[in-house]
Structure 1
Amino acid sequence: MPIYEYACRACEHEFEALHKMSDPALRDCPECKAAELVKKVSAAGFRLKGGGWYETDFKSGDKKKNLAGDGGATSAPATSSSSD
């Protein structure tokens, strides 16, 4: 559930509220009880940063992306050489 920020026009009280996106916006201020609340515009609380956010990052096969955090290097198949 997202966190919404609200401000009261009457008493200037500001607070955050956790509710579903499908729920109606709050109207009544919890401090002064006036029906003067407005939703504030705020930034998201997360960032999509780093690898793993694109379709090509999850392809299977010989060239899987190594998501262990080594800068996006691809993993090479192990080979063994035997000298008889």
Structure 2
Amino acid sequence: MPIYAYRCDECGFSKDVLQKISDPVLTTCLSCGKDAFKKQVTAAGFQLKGTGWYVTDFRGGSAPATGTAPGTTAAAAPAAASSESTTAASPAPAAPAKSDTSAS
């Protein structure tokens, strides 16, 4: 859920409120009770983590559409690399251990 910044035009009270996108906008100030509570325009407050996009992705200018154009090899290379990495990462099945059934 996004966090929205609100500020009262009357008393100057400000508060960050965790709301769903579908929730109605707050209008009544939580401090003075007047109908002057307004949503502020703020910078996005999120951080990307993990293996997302890299600087070199889509370096040619615009991002490609959902499909790839026929004859392009740039999209085929990552697919080939990922299939190789999954094959190399999975270990071969172990051979069954031989058991000595003869007793001396």
TM-score in terms of structure 1 length: 0.61
**Bigger helix fraction:** 2
Residue type of the partner of 1:40? Q
Deviation at 1:47, TM superposition (A): 2.9
Q: 1:62 aligns with which of 84, 87, 90?
A: 84
Structure 2 SS opposite 1:62: helix
Aligned equivalent of 1:27:
27
Aligned equivalent of 1:17:
17
TM-score in terms of structure 2 length: 0.50
Residue type of the partner of 1:5? A
Deviation at 1:48, TM superposition (A): 3.1
- CA deviations over 1:9-62 (Å, ceiling 9, x no partner): 010101111110001100000100001011111122223367423797x84312
Identity %: 45
Residue type of the partner of 2:83? G
Aligned equivalent of 2:5:
5
Q: Where do 5+ consecutive residues of structure 1 fail to align? A: 65-76, 79-84
Aligned equivalent of 1:41:
41
Tell me the matched-pair count.
65
Structure 1 SS opposite 2:4: strand
Distance in 2 of aligned mates of 1:19 and 1:63: 42
